[in-house]
Structure 1
Amino acid sequence: MKKLILLTAFLVAIHIPRLVSAQTALQGSVERIKVHGKGLEGNLEGNSADPEVSIYLPPSYKKDSKRRYPVVYLLHGFTDNDAQWYGLVKHWINLPVIVDKVFAGGQAQEMIIVTPNAYTRSGGSFYSNSITVGNWEEYVANELVSYIDQHYRTIAKAASRGLAGHSMGGYGTMRIGERYPKVFSSLYLLSPCCMVPGGSRSPESLAKIEAIKDPADFNKADFGTKAALASAAAWSPNPTKPPFYTDQIVENGEYQKMTETKWAANSGLATIDQYISNLKQLKGIAFDAGDRDQPIASNIKILHQILDNYKIEHSYEEYQGDHLNKIGERIEQKMLPFFSKNLSGQ
């Protein structure tokens, strides 16, 4: 018995280094850089034209210097930033841990993942073009993609580029993806916001919005009030109205119908019919939301019906969950395998 115990201990001892080495070899790395955006220069909010960008490089990237990789551009949500998603700041999700697990388990081909920091003075850019917030749509689709292709070993073609996002990022994915089918070939929307016009327009909510008089008040505001200011910065900019440089939804106690019209015109389902021929060029489209994430779950069901009407192939799912609690699981089990299937690895 004593000899058996010693033999077992010896075998465990000689295998532990190999196991640790294997685990280490299957971990990717994260770089955080700054990427200049010409279209972000001079924005009226004063947001940096050199936003941070977090980049996940897969386990083999630094070991195989000749290998090139498909890229997924992953857009974060409203009031989030890239550092939170990449484990650089404590948050509700840690993307590199999830991706490492997927690649270690052989559930998907290795790929590079890129996330720009789209947090702005008003909490988020909605990945739209605006003189107030900056031209984020063009930044993601053109300037960021160009920089990554020039500085990293990517497979620089649309067939090897995917675009994904959560919440505001899901909206941005649809907005940018439908406009740039020659840049991105596959889209995955995680609980996308802003697909239909709307929001609370009660006297109380309007009063809260109008009570924000300067940028210092913004941090004290609730989520809905912040979202209203950000919507104005993205979709109803006005260079003659400091300090926010927007036409807001309420002015002098009066609800502004024209501003609401501008916001509605930018909602995801309002624009989709204009880009059907572009959407038909895509290799893959997928979207999902938790059943308790309302009205988002109901809105993507409408998106599903619209794409069905146009006979555009896609994947749609409503799962048990809310806006946050299953996102890591969805990335692991659905999003990354989706891109592994749809993005060309050569």
Structure 2
Amino acid sequence: MLPYPTEPAGRFEHPVIDSVTLRGNPLGDPHRRPLLVYLPPGYDEDRGRRYPVIYVTPGYGGHAGTWFNRTPFRRPHPELVDALYASGEVPPAIVVFADGWTRYGGSQFLNSPATGDYHSYLCDELVPWIDARYRTLADRDHRALAGKSTGGYVAMITPMLRPDLFGALATHAGDALFDVGYRSELTRRARLLRDLYDGSYDRFLKEFHTRVPGTKQGDFELMEVYAYASAYSADEDGTVRIPFDDTATLLPEVWNRWLAWDPVLLATRPAHAEALRSLRAIWIDAGNKDEYYLDFGATAFHRALKSAGVPDDRINYELFDGTHGAIEYRYPLALGWLSERMGV
């Protein structure tokens, strides 16, 4: 496989949304957000046709500038999307690659007093902005979310919170079953914080922002925990609460705030179970050797769907042979499956 870009059969646009919701966010992060919008083959020729829309949210650390990152022997996500719709084997769709970046590396697309209202940005601003500028089928039955890891987390929780907007989802190794996935990492990261920064996140953050990130052991692992805490356990004044103490013991009053955002537990709430039953299509997969044990999260989420009464014919669940990385070949499988269920 040649390591060079190919000429797309469809078309990519790179618009920028001037977000009112993100203006004045607590971290001073940009409120003008770049997007990547994929328009399938035929979009420019058939001016009367409207299309389903699939929103893709990035994993932790991902942003608008990383979608076209190219690794050896593999094609980047947008090129896989173009190849899928160029094949003509599935109904075409518009694909919107979203950006939820913060100076902590991500927002989980949740509203937080520590980072900003990224859930509102996605649901109340980005979706209508796209519908106003592109020929979309502007209803929940023709709108889906998809993503991997943190992006898969966003794909799981957002339709539960906003079933009026999203009628389908695809999650690849999405963050779920926090007591297994996150918990398995927190002890190791508590040790990094102790050994490198005397247990002080204030010291870590001060140092992190005064040198090139990634030049010291633990940089990204410690920042990732802080980003999650800023989304799940920030006080109203913006104070970020870390869920463990200096012995790596979980603090129940903080950890319970994290668990309140676990997709597996969210799915057990009556309103969210009803939302899940209303979805047209739910794709769940993960590698059976996922380093963060998110294969267990996928299984637990699937089991929660069954308990909620979601019909089997609306679910595609699979544990495949793989790890957390190098699974982008799974993305077009899911997008094609969603397109068939939302297409017209």
Q: Provide the TM-score with structure 1 as the length reference.
A: 0.83
Shift of 1:159: 1.3
Please give the residue correspondences for 1:90-109 in structure 2 after superposition, counting only pairs within 5 Å: 90=70, 94-109=76-91
Partner of 1:342 in structure 2? 341
Offset from partner CA, 1:130-168 (integer Å, 9 cap, x none): 122111112112211100000111111111111111110
Shift of 1:112: 0.6
Partner of 2:264 in structure 1? 269
Q: Which has more radius of gyration?
A: 1
Unaligned 5+ runs, structure 1: 1-22
The whole-number CA distance in structure 2 between the counterparts of 1:30 and 1:40 is 25
Shift of 1:240: 4.6
The whole-number CA distance in structure 2 between the counterparts of 1:238 and 1:52 is 29
User: Comparing 92-101 with 122-131, which one deviates more in the overlay?
Assistant: 92-101
The whole-number CA distance in structure 2 between the counterparts of 1:176 and 1:194 is 13
Partner of 1:126 in structure 2? 108
C-alpha distance 263-68 of structure 1, shift in aligned 2 (>3 A): same
Amino acid across the alignment from 1:311: G
Shift of 1:299: 1.5
The whole-number CA distance in structure 1 between the counterparts of 2:255 and 2:42 is 49
The whole-number CA distance in structure 1 between the counterparts of 2:325 and 2:123 is 26
Partner of 1:155 in structure 2? 137
Q: Provide the TM-score with structure 2 as the length reference.
A: 0.84
Please give the residue correspondences for 1:16-165 in structure 2 after superposition, counting only pairs within 5 Å: 27-85=9-67, 87=68, 89-90=69-70, 94-165=76-147
CA contact (8 A) 1:84 1:94 kept: no
> CA RMSD of the aligned region, Å?
2.4
The whole-number CA distance in structure 1 between the counterparts of 2:221 and 2:114 is 20
The whole-number CA distance in structure 2 between the counterparts of 1:270 and 1:308 is 13
Tell me the number of residue pairs that the alignment of Structure 1 and Structure 2 aligns: 315
Shift of 1:217: 5.9
Amino acid across the alignment from 2:317: Y
Which runs of 4 or more aligned residues in structure 1 lie more than 6 Å from their structure 2 counterparts after TM superposition? 251-254
Shift of 1:213: 3.5
C-alpha distance 238-42 of structure 1, shift in aligned 2 (>3 A): farther
Shift of 1:304: 1.5
Amino acid across the alignment from 2:178: V
The whole-number CA distance in structure 1 between the counterparts of 2:70 and 2:66 is 6
Shift of 1:114: 0.4
CA contact (8 A) 2:276 2:305 kept: no
CA contact (8 A) 2:152 2:175 kept: yes
Shift of 1:127: 1.1
Q: Does residue 293 of structure 1 match 2:290?
A: yes
The whole-number CA distance in structure 2 between the counterparts of 1:298 and 1:148 is 35
The whole-number CA distance in structure 1 between the counterparts of 2:169 and 2:327 is 19
The whole-number CA distance in structure 1 between the counterparts of 2:257 and 2:91 is 41
The whole-number CA distance in structure 1 between the counterparts of 2:14 and 2:258 is 33
Shift of 1:106: 1.9
Secondary structure class of the residue paired with 1:47: coil
Offset from partner CA, 1:233-256 (integer Å, 9 cap, x none): 111224656xxx422335788964
C-alpha distance 279-176 of structure 1, shift in aligned 2 (>3 A): same
CA contact (8 A) 1:108 1:340 kept: yes
Partner of 2:301 in structure 1? 303
CA contact (8 A) 1:84 1:90 kept: no
The whole-number CA distance in structure 2 between the counterparts of 1:84 and 1:99 is 15
Amino acid across the alignment from 2:335: L
CA contact (8 A) 2:177 2:300 kept: no
Unaligned 5+ runs, structure 2: 1-5
CA contact (8 A) 2:9 2:41 kept: yes
The whole-number CA distance in structure 2 between the counterparts of 1:123 and 1:31 is 24
CA contact (8 A) 1:239 1:246 kept: no
Partner of 2:3 in structure 1? none
Determine what percentage of the aligned residue pairs are the same residue: 26
Shift of 1:310: 2.8
CA contact (8 A) 2:144 2:167 kept: yes
The whole-number CA distance in structure 2 between the counterparts of 1:196 and 1:239 is 23
Partner of 1:15 in structure 2? none
C-alpha distance 323-283 of structure 1, shift in aligned 2 (>3 A): same
